Amino acid sequence: MKAAPASTIGYFSERAAAPALADSFACVWVHQMPAAGAPPVIVAPDGTIDLQWIDGAFRIAGPDKEPQTEIIPAGSAVIGFRFCPGVAAAWLRTSASEILGQRVPLDDLWGAKARRLAKSVRDEENIADRIISLESVLARCGPEHPPTDKVMAAAFTLIEQGPPEGAPLVPWLARALAMSERTLRRRFDESFGYGPKTLDRILRYQRFRKLQQHNAGTSTAALAAEAGYSDQAHLVRESRRLTGATPLALERSLSHSSQIDFA
């Protein structure tokens, strides 16, 4: 069966994480796979790291710098908690570069503690109730003082907004964050799993996708320029590299996707 973009398979929705988790997690999301005929899914890099609950266990997903193909059992519901930028490495107590491009059971990082956490989650039939149970468990196991790396969170925001036109990315970031380029690259590897240029590529494509979603009818070339691409051909190359599809093909497939409400 041919693989398809994850966002086009099954049902997806997200909301803000519970207030007790807001300093560590940007949101909680659910991806409900169809009951039958679920194809392999292609997960595109998005610049984030997720703590996921699937089949009664926690795992870490990402960071990714290339598309990942996964086979998720039909009917499964994946619940994800998306780490805030600059939080995951300290929260997990491992460098993001150590888990780059992987799907790692939390057991591998935390051992018996992860298994105890999984056993304390109530296996609620209702997804909303299951999420409440997960949030309660995570609120108890998280650090007393959220481990936000403010400098790396600021670096993420700067890249998300985009550098000034014509400014070389790494020197510009190093000046803005008051650190050497060598230190900058090391900190990026620890926090995001890869360097500034890779994060810039990923977030630039995310910027384009947001523009595309909110500017129906605007030409792809115009949106590509606004997002920071040199031209439309540049955008198409990056889209294929990051998602396995052209922007037009992805837009068409997303038009048939569905949302669920679990608030």
With tokens 């799907």, the residue in question is 103
* Residue-wise pLDDT tens digits, 171-184: 999 999 999 999 99
| Residue 2 banded pLDDT, cuts 50, 70, 90 | low
Per-residue pLDDT at 144 = 62
How distant, in Å, are the alpha carbons of 84, 167, 172, 179, 252 from that of 176? 21, 12, 6, 8, 39
Per-residue pLDDT at 38 = 73
Task: Give the 3-state secondary structure percentages of the chain, helix then strand then coil, rounded to 5.
Answer: 45, 15, 35
Q: Is the pLDDT of residue 57 over 90?
A: yes
Closest C-alpha to 25, from 159, 157, 138, 154:
138
Per-residue pLDDT at 263 = 40
The DSSP secondary structure of 200-216, one letter per residue, reads HHHHHHHHHHHHHHH-T
Per-residue pLDDT at 96 = 96
- E strands, 165-260, are 258-259
Closest C-alpha to 151, from 56, 87, 234:
87
Q: Is the pLDDT of residue 1 over 80?
A: no
Calculate mean pLDDT across residues 145-166: 85
Q: What predicted TM-score, i.e. pTM, was given to this entire model? A: 0.89
> What burial class does residue 178 get, using C-beta atoms within 10 Å of its C-beta: 0-12 exposed, 13-18 middle, 19+ buried?
exposed
Q: Is the pLDDT of residue 71 over 70?
A: yes
What percent of the chain is modeled with pLDDT above 90?
Answer: 66
Work out whether the CA dihedral 24, 29, 33, 39 comes out positive or negative: negative
Domain architecture of the chain: domains with CATH? 4-147 (no CATH), 150-254 (1.10.10.60)
Closest C-alpha to 254, from 212, 220, 221, 225:
212
* Residue-wise pLDDT tens digits, 174-231: 999 999 999 999 999 999 999 999 999 999 999 999 998 888 888 999 999 999 999 9
Per-residue pLDDT at 254 = 59
How high is the mean pLDDT of the chain? 89
Closest C-alpha to 70, from 9, 7, 6:
6
Q: Is the pLDDT of residue 143 over 70?
A: no
Per-residue pLDDT at 4 = 65
Calculate mean pLDDT across residues 119-148: 86
Closest C-alpha to 44, from 258, 257, 247:
247
* Residue-wise pLDDT tens digits, 73-131: 888 899 999 999 999 998 999 999 999 999 999 999 999 999 999 999 998 889 999 99
